[in-house]
Amino acid sequence: MRLSSNPVLILCCLAMFAATQAAARSLRLQAAHVEAPSLSLEGVRLDAQLDTDGGKLQVVAQRLRIAELGVDQVLDWQCVLKREGDAQVCDGPLRLSDGRSAQLRVRLAREQLALRLEQDAFEGVLQWPLGAGTTALKLRSLPAAWVAPVLARHWGGGSLRAGLVEAELTIDAAQRAHASGSITGLTLGTHDGTLALDGVDIEGEGNWSVTNGIARIGAQLRLARGRLDVGVLHAQLPQAPVDLALDVRRGVDAVWDIAQLNWRDPDVLEFDAAARFDPRELAPLRRLQLHQARAVFPLALQRYGRGVLAAQELNDLALVGELRGSAELDGEGLIRAAAATDRLDLREPQRAISIEGLRGGLDWRRDGHGEIRPLSFAHARLGDIAVDALRSRWQIRDRAAHLIGPLSARLLGGKLVAQDLTLREPAADVTWLQGRVGVRGMGHDATDGSFGIANLAADLDLRLAGALDALHIAADASLHGGQALAGSIYVELPQTPIHARIGAALSSSVWKVDRFDWRDPGVLDASLHGQWNPLTHQWQALQAQLRELDLALATDRYARSWLATRGYGELQARGRAQGAVALEAGRVRGFSFEAKKVDLVDGAGRFALEGLDGALDWSADTPRAPTALGWRHAEFYRVPFGAARSQWTADRESLRLAAPLAVDVLGGQLRLEKFIAQPASPRGDRYEASFAVVGVQLPQMSAAFGWPIFPGNLSGGIPEIEFVGDRIDFHGGLDLYLFDGHLGVNTMSLERPFGSEPALGANIHFENFDLEQLTSAFSFGSMSGRLFGTIDDLRLLDWGTVAFDAWLRTKGGGKMSYTAVDDITGISSGAPALQNLALKLVNTFRFGQLGVRCRLRDEICTMGGVDPVPERLDADHSLDARGYAIVKGAGLPRIDIVGHRRHVDWPTLVRRLRDATRGQAPVIE
């Protein structure tokens, strides 16, 4: 190391040599090797020549080694001796082998040796008594890095990197030391970063002494500028000095006692502390006391707290106000902690929490005798929930905060009153909140409208336990009125009490509901338990039981809005029911249902079921006993059904109709040959059925549907029906026999049959219909012959026709009346055909062929007749003028009916059909 790094210890080395010759008149000394603590010299030669006026002195060492400073140099000092009073003074240049030099002055008196060393801006003065007395050292502009090697030998875990020292040090005969001065821009730190100073200015004074092996250090310091890091505490010191007072003792047992540590950053952070710790222990802290702590925000947070908040992921926390407190810890943890404030505002945007006007305090003691403290705030907000002024009193005992008296607050437009609350630090297997809470007139609406409450009145006992990421909640509630909305479910609670109970364990991936009970006396009594996935919003497992249900009351109270969203807003229900359902991995594992005198009537007229009585029971785990379910009367789309009672059997795979079921309908019978439900099918809920219709009277069916009265009866059947979800597929087709012919329906499907906008798709074909029977049902001119036809790709939406491709035709010709000729002409063209009086005298006309085609798309019917519709029609409809033959006459008088409009508005065509079948004259357009 260079001379500039080590001048202080070199002064001490030279003083030792000068002192040994203080009384000599002349001296020549040579030594091959000289050893002293931390110092060695080789090839030493000292020449001193003294006379009455002075003399010369030269000290040469071939090798000077000071291990602590890393010095290994050649030493050469020459000076001129002169007398000053009774003292000898020698002043001259000091050179080392690296070529650099300093000025060394030695003054030797009878009682004191004084040395002064100067190099550049540095000046050091050492005053060393030759007998009893005080040693003094003054340093000016000393770079702190010069003493870094010394510090490194005693502080292996850290390093000194920068700083400039101005100091005075005295050591008396009793080895008591006193120092004063300043260090500018001090930079040092531990290698692991737990302690660091960067560019800190320090000034002040301190004392050090050792008595009977006990070391004592005291200091009064002022710190300014720069950065101070202690663990997660990162402090940016201000320009104005911060006062630090220390009183530290180190005993013979190596245990450190900090009797006093006072920190004064006025109007920002102030505290008094004391501590005791043993650095040899794994957990060194034995005791810590913090007194009269005071923090003023936001400056205290900005200056000292950002690192602490970042470690707790609270980077956005903002505080305004003042907080006072104290604390005491020992090796087992916290003994006592108290905090108080006259006003504190808190805001944490990330968690959408804000509290304004917090006032009061808390006092926690391990022995359970904390003082009762009031606590209140002017306003708070949690998310989009606002809480008005709140006042409370708390006592901390048994390591918990206990509410003394009631806590009252305005919350969500209503009032909240809490009593007997107990709070603890959240931890696993610990109930950290419990108490009684009552609310009156409370209301809240979620911003997305998915949830809301209004005028809620409730009382509940609440318990929260476990860590925050594995929360367990238990609550017993009594509800006394209000309205609630969750999705499409709207509930209006009565004034009479409803009792609810819940026990659940909540984590981020699953909510385990151990128990949920809902008891609305005389209306609804239900319970469930299972596992809910909050990410997919589905039940992973569920066991639900319906012990009591009054359909008339429960429908209006709990289900009216939900039914309305599914198209059943006018449903009327009466009777009582019970039931249960079990789900596992999203699939049904079992269900049961029991009805007692149940009536269900759809206000839209789609269905009615009266006198439903009996039960159904199925489980995928165990076989169930046979059940029966019947009704007194039923009606579907104005078709009345008679009374019936069905028998059911169940195994692990399915629920089955035990025997065919015959139901009277329209003078005939509907025979349900089979019905199989497979709730646990891999394809989801699946149902299969087949039925037959026998002897249904067409006149009764016509009257039921408001049709013209058709003669005859209807018979037929569908060999297989499959229900999957809200879709019904008719496999194998529907075969009906009517009008002395056959009608077949295949590839028929029905979606949402009782929901909103039901949809039906099918292909229809019929053969050999007796035209005379068919036309006699309408106020339509009479016709004879046999009618054939197809209606492909039929599509009905909400029972209105939206698409089809139809072709109606005769085989073998027939006859028609003049009225039929006029009606057919009016339907196809909108104008009557028989204008000739002579033709009107003929009652019937023979025809050879009749054909009508219509392809409906977007409410436009593309028309055709006996011949196929051309594949291409010009956009300007130029082919319309050529017409298309609907009827090709035969015999005399011959009548041909030709259509001239290829594109007909569907509503207009329907109106013409309606007018023709009602016997009205067609409208001439």
Q: Which of 824, 822, 844, 845 is nearest to 833 (CA)?
A: 822
pLDDT band, residue 882 (cuts 50/70/90): low
845 contacts 821 by C-beta, under 8 angstroms: yes
Mean pLDDT is lowest, of 8-22, 673-687, 801-815, for: 8-22
CB-neighbour burial class of residue 12 (10 A; exposed 0-12, middle 13-18, buried 19+): middle
pLDDT score recorded for residue 64: 82
Token pair 């205290």 is at which residue? 300
Please give the span between the terminal C-alpha atoms of the chain, in angstroms, as a whole number: 119
More confident: 914 or 333: 333
pLDDT band, residue 915 (cuts 50/70/90): low
Q: In which region does residue 267 sit, left (phi positive, over 0), alpha (psi from -120 to 50) or beta (all else)?
A: left
Q: Average pLDDT of the chain?
A: 83
Q: Which pLDDT tens digit goes with each residue over 503-560?
A: 999 888 899 999 999 999 999 999 999 998 888 888 889 999 999 999 999 999 999 9
Beta-bridge partner residues of 580 = 545, 592
Q: Which of 423, 415, 418, 416 is nearest to 405 (CA)?
A: 418
Q: What is the mean pLDDT of residues 235-244?
A: 92
Mean pLDDT is lowest, of 180-184, 342-346, 912-916, for: 912-916
pLDDT band, residue 881 (cuts 50/70/90): very low
DSSP 541-581: EEEEEEEEEEHHHHIIIIIHHHHHHTT-TT-EEEEEEEEEE
pLDDT at 652 over 90: no
pLDDT score recorded for residue 280: 74
User: What are phi and psi for residue 825, nearest 5 degrees?
Assistant: -65, -40
Instruction: Break the chain down into helix, strand, coil percent, rounded to 5.
Output: 10, 60, 25
pLDDT score recorded for residue 877: 46
pLDDT score recorded for residue 22: 43
CB-neighbour burial class of residue 523 (10 A; exposed 0-12, middle 13-18, buried 19+): buried
615 contacts 593 by C-beta, under 8 angstroms: yes
Q: What is the mean pLDDT of residues 79-105?
A: 83
pLDDT score recorded for residue 709: 75
Mean pLDDT is lowest, of 11-20, 446-455, 584-593, for: 11-20
Q: Where are the domains of the chain?
A: 406-506, 514-659, 669-736+745-755, 757-917
pLDDT at 891 over 90: no
Half-sphere exposure (Cβ direction) of 369: Cα atoms closer than 13 Å: 1
Beta-bridge partner residues of 258 = 248, 275
Q: Which residues contact 876 (CB under 8 A, 6 or more apart)?
A: none
Which two structure tokens, joined as six digits, stand for 185? 């821009």
Task: Report the percentage of the chain scoring pLDDT > 90.
Answer: 33
User: Residue 201 belongs to what H/E stretch?
Assistant: strand 195-211
pLDDT at 841 over 70: no
CB-neighbour burial class of residue 464 (10 A; exposed 0-12, middle 13-18, buried 19+): buried
Q: What is the mean pLDDT of residues 761-766?
A: 91
How far apart are alpha carbons 148 and 64 in whole angstroms? 19
Q: What is the mean pLDDT of residues 209-231?
A: 90
pLDDT score recorded for residue 552: 94
Q: What is the mean pLDDT of residues 640-664?
A: 93
How far apart are alpha carbons 41 and 33 in whole angstroms? 6
Q: What is the mean pLDDT of residues 646-663?
A: 92
Q: Which pLDDT tens digit goes with each residue over 264-297?
A: 999 999 999 998 878 777 777 788 899 889 999 9
297 contacts 323 by C-beta, under 8 angstroms: yes
More confident: 495 or 729: 495
More confident: 830 or 289: 289
The winner for highest mean pLDDT among 330-339, 440-449, 599-608 is 599-608
pLDDT at 416 over 90: no
pLDDT at 495 over 60: yes
Q: Which pLDDT tens digit goes with each residue over 671-720?
A: 999 898 888 776 656 778 888 888 888 788 878 877 777 777 777 778 88
How far apart are alpha carbons 676 and 403 in whole angstroms? 61
The per-residue b/e assignment along 628-643, b for 16 or more CB within 10 angstroms, e otherwise, is ebebeebbbeebebee
Q: Which of 227, 229, 224, 280 is nearest to 251 (CA)?
A: 280
Q: Which pLDDT tens digit goes with each residue over 115-149?
A: 898 988 889 898 888 877 888 999 999 998 888 87
Write a three-state SS string for 793-826.
EEEEECCEEEEEEEEEEECCCEEEEHHHHHHHHH
pLDDT at 63 over 70: yes
pLDDT score recorded for residue 678: 84
How far apart are alpha carbons 690 and 722 in whole angstroms? 9
pLDDT score recorded for residue 833: 46
How far apart are alpha carbons 857 and 563 in whole angstroms? 33
Q: Which of 90, 157, 167, 87 is nearest to 123 (CA)?
A: 167
Mean pLDDT is lowest, of 64-78, 473-487, 609-623, 761-775, for: 64-78
pLDDT band, residue 19 (cuts 50/70/90): very low
pLDDT score recorded for residue 921: 36
How far apart are alpha carbons 307 and 316 in whole angstroms? 12
pLDDT at 461 over 60: yes
pLDDT band, residue 731 (cuts 50/70/90): confident
Q: Which pLDDT tens digit goes with each residue over 248-261?
A: 998 888 888 989 99
- Listed as own residue / partner, the contacts of 737-741 with beta carbons closer than 8 Å and 24 or more positions apart are 738/698, 738/710, 738/712, 738/713, 738/714, 738/769, 739/710, 739/712, 739/769, 739/770, 739/773, 739/774, 740/712, 740/768, 740/769, 740/770, 740/773, 741/766, 741/767, 741/768, 741/769, 741/770, 741/786, 741/787
Write a three-state SS string for 426-447.
CCCCCEEEEEEEEEEEEEEECC
Beta strand pairing status for 101-108 and 39-50?
A: unpaired
The winner for highest mean pLDDT among 59-73, 405-419, 572-586 is 572-586
- State the sign of the Cα–Cα–Cα–Cα dihedral 138, 143, 146, 148: positive
pLDDT score recorded for residue 11: 43
pLDDT band, residue 10 (cuts 50/70/90): very low
Mean pLDDT is lowest, of 334-348, 532-546, 739-753, 902-916, for: 902-916
Q: Which residues contact 9 (CB under 8 A, 6 or more apart)?
A: 38, 39, 66, 68, 69, 71
How far apart are alpha carbons 270 and 669 in whole angstroms? 95
